[in-house]
Structure 1
Amino acid sequence: MKFKKIISVFLIFLLVISITSCKQSDIPKEYTDLTYDEYITKLFQKEVNSDSITLNYTLAHPENFGIKEIEPTFGEYSAKSIKEDYAAAENYIKVLKSYPYDSLTEEQQITYDVLYNYLQDQCVPGKLILYNEILSPTTGLQAQLPVLLAEYNFYDKEDIANYIQLLSTIKDYFSEIVEFEKTKSKKGLFMSDTTLNQIIEQCTTFSKSKENNYLIDIFNEKIDSFEGLSEAEAEAFKNKNKTAVLEYVLPAYEYLITELSTLKGTTKNEYGLSHLPNGKEYYEHLVRIYTGSDKSVKEIDKLLDATISSCIQNIKQIANDDASIYEKIQTYDYPLTNPEEILDYLQEAVSADFPPLEEVNCSIKYVPESLENYLSPAFYLTPALDCYNENSIYINGSDQYDLNDIFTTVAHEGYPGHLYQNVYYNQQHPNPIRCILGFGGYAEGWATYVELYSYKLSGLDENLTEVLINNMIATLCLYAKVDIGIHYYGWDLKETYKYLQTYGLTNTDSLLSIYNAIIGEPCNYLKYTVGYLELAQLKEKAEKALGQKFILLNFHKFILDMGPCQFYVLDKYLDKWIAEQQ
């Protein structure tokens, strides 16, 4: 079973069930006679070493964690390996149940709660295995792998050699993915042709760049700056990498194009998941995975309606009080538009409401031109937990994104968003197992929450700021509503148009783009929207309970100290925190 947290590609299931005891005879032999902490350590060692990308992005010095590196590999991806992951999760749960919960410290109990529920939802019904999808237009493996390879960390010479060897295995890994997709096709579960065409176009654009491929250029830059290599060693590494890119990586993408092209027209469903036999059930799993919320889809749907209504009323009230608001919306500009300057400014500006952070380095990089059309406006790459001082934020310079509005995006990715949250948590030296559990709802919910907070630091007019905040919340909720409409209630393109047009969205090209994006990336918007709404509800709960004793800085510290987890786990420990504040 693989725990992934690098970029949100891999699926994590979250489900609450009751905790019961387990017989010693049910425990796998390799875990008998281990203390709770020893077991958690062993689990971390086993999972972090499941593939080279996970290991490299998680640890700079595996040897310090008792880990001996494996042969370079991308891991496995097949129906069989997914079943084995589920079986491993069941075994991990058996071991967890053998430890008396009441005998654990509070920190151990928090890890137990997070891990237990994380593992429990790995054990999904076998009928849903083929509903898994590793390829998608924006968050799919084929889209994000080039960036992951470009940012592969070289801590020593062995890392460089392992990286080049890893590239030689990419065709085998893609072959497993192709076989999985072919099986999905035979079972009538293959992706829509629209989504397929986007993926093929993306792979084609990337693979067209040969001798000047950015995986060659970036590698050469990294080798030139790597200390301790002789000129001959550096040149040899550069030649080996170029050969690997041209003979393994690009042909693997061309192979993926060829094989996926043979599956065009084999889809049985051009609509949302609910049109598939068990699609609605699978979507409910995805909602829990992506959001970390224990709310049902219908409960989330009602929350979205209420939030949209509230935001619209807030905007109307501001418009009634400020006759110039429409002009302000049309003409505003952010005082800061340079990403580096924004980062520097925000580090100081957020200090009043967020706990201090040790100084770290952050490099602003730009998405390679061949990937601009397929990646997000910006993204942050999680650093190794034992080398969190070096951070990278990628900015997409595509013409489709307006860099004049990048202020809040940098807040989302940098301070006090992803960079800040990840580094802060690592500086608390949590149990390493917590650092390889991915919770998209918490991560993107926090980043969205602080992105909205950053509007008030932007230097814009106060009324304009409130309109922009409410407009962003309402927009996120509209997209989440459409996601649920398409994948849970079965909306087609016409029904999606009709819903969005009631809110004044009438540009057919934009509407089609939204529809296709949601078809190809189920639940992607929900982790941002529901994650933010869950955090907002926790904040509201604390404010009501504490009244004048509520201090925003202390609330933020509680959320950050708890670290990435399910929102129902946060809520459980929030009650104790409130009592302590009182």
Structure 2
Amino acid sequence: MPGAHTYIKTPQQGTLLVKKRIPLIITAAALLLFAGLFFFLYRNNDTLRFQKLSEEIFAQSLNQDSLSLHYTLADPSPYLKAPSPATLPAYSRESQKEAAALLENQLLVLQEINPDKLNSHDRYTWSLLTSYLENELAGARCEYYEEPLAPSSGMQSQLPVLLAEYTFRTKSDMEDYLEILESIPAYLESLAVYEKEKANAGLFMTEADAGEIVDQCDAIMAPDLLSAGEHFLQTTFQERLDGLVEDGQLKPEEEEFYISENNRLLTTVVSPAYTALADSIFLLSGSGSHNGGLCELPSGIAYYLYLLRRNTGSSRTPEEIQSLLSDQFQNLYQNLQALVETYREQTGTGTITLEDLPAFPFQNAQEILDDLQNRMQADFPSLAALTDSLPSCRTKSVAESMEDFTSPALYLTPPIDDMDDNVIYVNNSSTSPGLELYTTLAHEGYPGHLYQTVYSQLYENSKTDNPVRSALFYGGFVEGWAYYVENIAYGYASDVLLQNGAPNASSLLTDIACLERNLQVNLYCLLDLSIHYYGASRQDVYRSLAAFGISDQATADAIYDYIRTEPTTYLKYYLGYLEILALRDKATDLWGDDYTPLRFHTFLLQAGPSDFTSLEKKLAETPAVKTTLSYMETEKKLARG
């Protein structure tokens, strides 16, 4: 949730120790035992301090944020000392300053711990935490640069989706949900306060961006749908209540009451809160004049460098990233030209379009996910080695009222202590059936987000009961992995078509589609650097896009404005992907004949979300020979008993 920060509390002072008389005669055995215990406690002091600090960081990451708490933990009782009222984290300038100071304190405490005295797992986590907190502290110094209401990814559009998928495991969950609805006015009002302070600092959004936010607030709550009882926050609420009734946790007459209460809150509390937010943004509209990259703002370069590190996990400089992207762009372009020429020679056609691809044989998303799981078996480790029950996955369509400002697809991560129920949303207005849907579900499901999230978390749970890593954000690893396997899925799609009687040229066409997508995303990454680090203007971007064949001004404006309002977003995907390719090259050199895709993928999944500098160091410590069971091998072993 925007504005949420973590901090630690100092140990309680002045603890009263109750003294008891001890025997005057202490045996030698007792002395040895005491000495051994003293040595053990001394030796493990750093371990205990690290465990305590980790627990504090994790607990504070969920402080006063019931929505994040619910999505992180199915059962908070082992991790949190006492339940707190269900609420959302309201912003205030005072709390932001306090959070920054406490963040600095966290880092100081962490640096006092000697990592050499920790076990290998904790030592790796210590390294991750150190670099993570250092970067977060750098970001905290850039006041008012964060934008919680971005047109494409702001909380005004994310919050309803998170509410719609808020799981009702118990009646208490449902009651907490209604309390969260009650807290939405205070939460949105605090965001309006933040935006006003942002405007006073000369950093408010453009008038056009503000207009988009106002339109979204008006559309999201859709008064006509609310009055008809057809809003998705009404229909999904009733579906979840039905589950509680079926489980015997709720009586039918109670269900009617709670449906009425939900309707009341949506119409008299949540909807007016969205209207009030829209009014606040409208009144501030016009106070922001900056319409360019971050580098044009006083602390813009510092904030961009923070975002690069945070969102990509890469430690490369902007200059190094630009060089890497440029080299990759040239390679992609040359490969694409060669493939296009080969395709034309084979088919005798001058025009190339994805409409020439034969129809895919799958009727729905579940059939695609089943096919992807079958095809990934040889090269990816099996989930069956970590769990007795494989996770379920439901695919849903984004509500029509949300389609215009929701991404093509999204995966909602399950709680770290209950990985069974997974949900993928598909935006039907921006995701075409066939190849695009196939690769999208590979990105979001198998072997993408769902598989990576479940495998990495189950493996982490098997190694430690310390949940602190779930509080850290590594977008470059997570999205880089999903983009990496999406590229692999183009090969799977080619096999699907060929195995269902498609001509050989269809394989070339899927390769062309893959290269075109990479080339386009690479270009957008270069534009991101150009706009936010080098100061490219809108006209500069027009010229770059025109050279790429994008001459329609409305399209060019949409691309420019998206990159302007979502700095480093494309880099999160593509630079993360390139960093994984670089790690793969290093693994190939390091392991030699012992390298296999299965082993490399297992290394990444077991390491879990990390920054790429830490992953490179971890890879260098990996022995040359290691045996890992694939999906297929694990299932055969389990079948043999």
Conserved 8 A contact 2:590-2:624: no
Choose 371-380 or 322-331, whichever is displaced more. Answer: 322-331
Q: 1:455 corresponds to which residue? A: 490
Quote how far apart the aligned CAs of 1:578 are: 5.3
Q: Does 1:222 align with 2:222?
A: no
Matches of 1:222 and 1:316, distance apart in 2: 52
Quote how far apart the aligned CAs of 1:318 are: 2.1
- The letter of the residue matching 1:278 is S
Conserved 8 A contact 1:50-1:75: yes
- Structure 1 residues 408, 522: closer, same or farther in 2, change over 3 A? same
Q: 2:59 corresponds to which residue? A: 45
Quote how far apart the aligned CAs of 1:475 are: 1.1
- The letter of the residue matching 2:573 is Y
Matches of 1:62 and 1:79, distance apart in 2: 29
SS of residue paired to 1:364 = strand
Conserved 8 A contact 2:135-2:309: no
Q: How does 1:64-463 map to 2 (within 5 A)?
A: 64-124=78-138, 128-209=142-223, 210-211=226-227, 212=229, 213-226=231-244, 227=247, 228-322=249-343, 323-324=345-346, 329-330=353-354, 331-333=356-358, 335=360, 336=362, 338-358=364-384, 359-398=390-429, 400-404=430-434, 405-428=436-459, 429=461, 430=464, 431-458=466-493, 459-460=496-497, 461-463=506-508
Quote how far apart the aligned CAs of 1:122 are: 1.9
Deviations along 1:292-331, one digit per CA (max 9) or x if unpaired, are 1101111111111111100011112223434247656441
Counterpart pick for 2:584 among 536, 539, 557: 539
- Structure 1 residues 337, 492: closer, same or farther in 2, change over 3 A? farther
Matches of 2:189 and 2:514, distance apart in 1: 45
Matches of 2:251 and 2:222, distance apart in 1: 32
Quote how far apart the aligned CAs of 1:187 are: 1.5
Question: Highest relative contact order (Cα 8 Å, sep 6+), 1 or 2?
Answer: 1
Matches of 1:308 and 1:141, distance apart in 2: 34
Choose 312-321 or 517-526, whichever is displaced more. Answer: 312-321
Conserved 8 A contact 2:594-2:624: no
Choose 405-414 or 117-126, whichever is displaced more. Answer: 117-126
Amino-acid identity (%): 35
- Structure 1 residues 159, 125: closer, same or farther in 2, change over 3 A? closer
SS of residue paired to 1:128 = coil
Quote how far apart the aligned CAs of 1:119 are: 1.2
- Structure 1 residues 510, 39: closer, same or farther in 2, change over 3 A? same
Conserved 8 A contact 1:293-1:567: yes
SS of residue paired to 1:480 = helix
Conserved 8 A contact 1:337-1:403: no
Conserved 8 A contact 1:114-1:566: yes
Conserved 8 A contact 2:591-2:625: no
SS of residue paired to 1:557 = helix
Choose 172-181 or 37-46, whichever is displaced more. Answer: 37-46
- Structure 1 residues 564, 43: closer, same or farther in 2, change over 3 A? same
Deviations along 1:26-47, one digit per CA (max 9) or x if unpaired, are 9933599744223323432333
Matches of 2:303 and 2:363, distance apart in 1: 42
Matches of 1:337 and 1:87, distance apart in 2: 54
- The letter of the residue matching 1:39 is L
Matches of 1:193 and 1:488, distance apart in 2: 23
Quote how far apart the aligned CAs of 1:167 are: 0.8
Q: 2:571 corresponds to which residue? A: 526
- The letter of the residue matching 2:372 is L
SS of residue paired to 1:379 = strand
SS of residue paired to 2:522 = helix
- The letter of the residue matching 1:185 is A
Matches of 1:503 and 1:571, distance apart in 2: 35
Q: 1:486 corresponds to which residue? A: 531
Quote how far apart the aligned CAs of 1:194 are: 2.0
Quote how far apart the aligned CAs of 1:126 are: 6.1
Matches of 1:567 and 1:43, distance apart in 2: 22
Matches of 1:27 and 1:73, distance apart in 2: 21
Matches of 2:117 and 2:75, distance apart in 1: 32
- Structure 1 alignment gaps of length 5 or more: 14-25
Matches of 2:152 and 2:263, distance apart in 1: 26
Quote how far apart the aligned CAs of 1:147 are: 0.3
Matches of 2:618 and 2:12, distance apart in 1: 33
SS of residue paired to 2:383 = coil
The alignment of Structure 1 onto Structure 2 pairs a total of residues equal to 562
Matches of 2:207 and 2:267, distance apart in 1: 29
Q: Does 1:61 align with 2:75?
A: yes
- The letter of the residue matching 1:346 is L
Matches of 1:383 and 1:27, distance apart in 2: 28
Quote how far apart the aligned CAs of 1:542 are: 1.4
Deviations along 1:470-499, one digit per CA (max 9) or x if unpaired, are 222211110111111111122222110101
SS of residue paired to 1:124 = helix
Counterpart pick for 1:500 among 545, 548, 558: 545
Matches of 1:469 and 1:577, distance apart in 2: 32
Quote how far apart the aligned CAs of 1:275 are: 1.8
RMSD of aligned alpha carbons: 2.3
Conserved 8 A contact 1:446-1:531: yes
SS of residue paired to 2:622 = helix
Choose 233-242 or 28-37, whichever is displaced more. Answer: 28-37
Please identify the structure whose Cα radius of gyration is greater.
2
SS of residue paired to 1:262 = helix
